[in-house]
Amino acid sequence: MPNQNPLFPAFLKLENLRVLLVGGGNVGLEKLTAILRNSPETAVTIISITFLSELREVASRHPRIQLIERGWLETDLDAADIVFAATDDPALHRTIKAAARQRRLLVNVADTPALCDFYLSSVVVKGQLKVAVSTNGKSPTVGKRLRAVLEDTLPEELDEVLEQMTIIRNRLAGDFANKVKSLNAVTAELAGGKAYESPATKRWRRVATGSLLAVGAFVVSRLVRRPE
């Protein structure tokens, strides 16, 4: 299959960057939560005319969050490395995007994929392991479902595997190629297994082939139908 998702995946050390978040409402709180869940030490400056009380509460627990209660000014970009726009003003979002573009800052604009330089993802965490899912903006809901599936199916032991592998990795002698060979040998079992389709795989296949979608369409048609 050709590459249908040209997004470049990377894991940012957000704690090393100065984040500007514009908008302190529901969507602003969602963005802030996503940032702090992953990178709790991040310095975030939040500019907003009003702030949700829940957001104020989160901010009070994080010394590196600064709340500034006023409208956005272009000079706010001076101290930013990366920008999240999450207000209820689409015209403002376009202005922020244009100003950020001039300064070569990367921007995520809530609800407007066309204005985004990067997207957030659904994130699965098992200890040190982190899996990020992108649907190329096609269906964040499928991303969310896939996260739940991965959370259930990835074993808790994975974190221990990573710890053990780090120890082995640090003890291995020899050149790079030999190390890779040894590490591949130790972990061969993880990638092995004969062709087997789990019940979860079967369910995803049923959605893809439409049989579950038919059921879904039926359920939705029942939901939207007004009582006679």
Ligand X SMILES: NC(=O)C1=CN([C@@H]2O[C@H](COP(=O)(O)OP(=O)(O)OC[C@H]3O[C@@H](n4cnc5c(N)ncnc54)[C@H](O)[C@@H]3O)[C@@H](O)[C@H]2O)C=CC1
Query: What residues line the site for ligand X (CB under 6 A)?
Result: 22-28, 47-50, 71-72, 86-89, 92, 110-111
Q: Which of 35, 22, 33, 24 is nearest to 84 (CA)?
A: 22
* Separation of alpha carbons 82 and 31, rounded Å: 13
- Please give the full DSSP string across 121-171, using - where no structure is assigned: -EEEEETTEEEEE--TTS-HHHHHHHHHHHHHHS-TTHHHHHHHHHHHHHH
* Comparison of 114 and 191: residue with beta carbon closer to ligand X: 114
Q: Which does 136 bind (CB under 5 to 8 A by kind): ligand X, ligand SHN, none?
A: ligand SHN
Rounded to whole angstroms, what are the CA distances from 76 to 16, 139, 213, 227? 18, 32, 46, 52
Residue type, 196: Y
Give the torsion through C-alpha atoms of 105, 100, 68, 18, to 10 deg.
10
Q: How far is the CB of 30 from ligand X (least distance, A)?
A: 7
CB of 90 to ligand X, least distance (A): 7
Read off φ and ψ for residue 66, nearest 5 degrees. Answer: -120, 130
The partner in contact with residue 143, picked from ligand X, ligand SHN, none with C-beta cut-offs of 5 to 8 angstroms by kind, is ligand SHN
What is the C-alpha separation between 58 and 66, in angstroms, rounded?
A: 11
Residue matched to tokens 């709340």: 67
Residue 97 interacts with, from ligand SHN, ligand X, none (CB under 5-8 Å by kind): none
- Cβ distance to ligand SHN smaller for residue 144 or 205: 144
In the complex with ligand SHN, the residue whose CB is nearer, 139 or 164, is 139
CB of 67 to ligand X, least distance (A): 11
Contact positions toward ligand SHN, by CB under 6 A? 30, 34, 108, 110-111, 113, 116, 119-122, 134-137, 139-141, 143-144, 147
For ligand X, the nearest residue by Cβ is 25
81 vs 179, which CB is nearer to ligand SHN? Answer: 81
